[in-house]
Structure 1
């Protein structure tokens, strides 16, 4: 029980801006429990998003345009921009077309290049478009999506960590990777399926099947992203764990956007 408690605390300290001051000693058991707890940070984020969505929609007169922008802003605020930083770093590295060692150096560079700015702009611009058009159709949108997407993308991050070797023997990815095995991915899939099953226990059948599509899209994206990381960098770093969250989130809203047209056509 102590392992679970410290693991949850560590995961929230790493992936959120919540002011948790408890010092967690580093150990294999706590590190592994923290990785298993990463999806729980998505559960809390999803609950907060639903609460804010309900308040804005039912108790204020603000437009869906504002609600869409606010939800994206709050998602980034919740992680302190940590994942955005990872997306920008790997964008600069991949766009540099340098050799592998030079790309890893670019990841460590605190400066931001033009490619990072451009990739972030289009990532968030398209995400805003998808979120707004999905939320604007009240007959299609279901609040459970605001929880399932944060959970799914963090499950994807854990799977990427388990499935991919580290690019170097330093950093957060290496620190957690050395305590994980391929067999842990099976546990994570069942664990994630359990969280989502409880979420959709009372949802309608169409919502359930659309969520199955989201799960499939997440698995495909993580698999492709893993191949890119291995080819471009020889493995993963902490930046890539953050980048997969940002990229996968935009992709899942894109999938919902596509389903919106097929379902309501």
Structure 2
């Protein structure tokens, strides 16, 4: 368990917790802890926001909290978002979409996707008030990494060989159950009964998003896992904001 958790942290962040040669079996088992890594990222982000707000900052605290996650992940998932947008939204054939996604150059759709997602994250977070802001910061990356596990375990790898294909084939029902239990405990623990709305929203959004990507590419890839994480992260912030607004009515 400890090795798998360390590998998950090293794989999803820039933190060097695992420095041994990666074993495919261990890689598959580590998928169980992606949601927990998201929870750790969210907790750090919320802590940064809380600390800066204690110093009297407001907007800067919110934006810095978002940037903290980007720094800790090395922008890996945002890169996947841009590559996915360039490929999936290109209107080309499946094979050409996959080729475009492998290209290291970023196109117009990739840049647009990055700008839109970052603007939405900041806008949603700025509108969330009180302790709910810190809860949103914790749960957004948690739900995003759970959605990655959902995509990994539910759909085949789109490329015939290479990449994460071998490793993701080794992740299955057990990994999905562990990831889902982590998400459930985090959401209900932080939001109580209102968390049911968030859980339903996240599951539905992840299902629709990954289903669409699978239809476009005939499976998912490493880039689409990152894109899924970022989009569900953003969707979670929006859902928390909507829960807040509904509670005011």
Whether the TM-score (by the shorter chain) exceeds 0.5 is yes
* Equivalent residues in 2 for 1:225-244, closer than 5 Å: 225-244=209-228
Q: Give the whole-Å Cα distance in 2 for the aligned partners of 1:68 and 1:171.
A: 38
Match of 2:16 in 1: 19
Which position in structure 2 is the counterpart of 1:52?
48
1:194 Cα shift? 3.8
Partners of 2:41 and 2:13 in 1: CA distance:
9
Partners of 1:104 and 1:53 lie apart in 2 by 38
TM normalised by structure 2 equals 0.92
| Cα offset, 1:150, TM superposition | 1.9
Q: Which of 223, 238, 241 is residue 254 of structure 1 equivalent to?
A: 238
TM-score by length of 1: 0.87
CA deviation after TM superposition for structure 1 residue 126, in Å? 1.3
RMSD: 1.9
The alpha-carbon deviation at position 190 of structure 1 amounts to 3.0
Question: Aligned match of 1:61 in 56, 62, 65?
Answer: 56
Q: Aligned equivalents of 2:167 and 2:105: distance in 1?
A: 26
CA distance in 2, matches of 1:47, 1:92: 31
Q: Deviations 1:57-108 (Å, cap 9, x if unpaired)?
A: 22x122x211111111111111100000111011111221000000000010
Please, which runs of 5 or more residues in structure 1 have no aligned partner?
none
Q: Which residue is equivalent to 2:77?
A: 83
User: Does the 8 Å CA contact 2:210/2:228 hold for their aligned counterparts?
Assistant: no
- 1:75 and 1:256, CA in 2 relative to 1: closer, same or farther beyond 3 A? same
From 220, 226, 244, the counterpart of 2:204 = 220
- Assess if the C-alpha contact under 8 Å between 1:6 and 1:24 holds in 2: no
Secondary structure at the counterpart of residue 144 of structure 1: helix
Aligned residues: 249
Native 8 Å contact 1:35 1:176 kept in 2 = no
Structure 1 residues 160 and 54: CA distance shift in structure 2, 3 A? same
Aligned residue for 1:143, secondary structure, equals helix
Q: Tell me, yes or no, if the aligned pair for 2:81 and 2:227 is still in contact at 8 Å.
A: yes
Partner residue of 1:114? Answer: 108
> Unaligned 5+ residue runs, structure 2?
none
Shift of 1:45: 1.0
Residues 44, 219 of structure 1: alpha-carbon distance in 2 compared, 3 angstrom cutoff: same
Matched, 1:188 2:179: yes
Report the equivalent of 2:170.
179
Of structures 1 and 2, the larger Rg is shown by: 1
Please state how far the C-alpha of 1:173 moved relative to its aligned partner.
Answer: 3.3
CA-CA distance at 1:133 after TM superposition: 0.7
Moved over 6 A (4+): none
Instruction: Determine the structure 1 residue equivalent to 2:87.
Output: 93
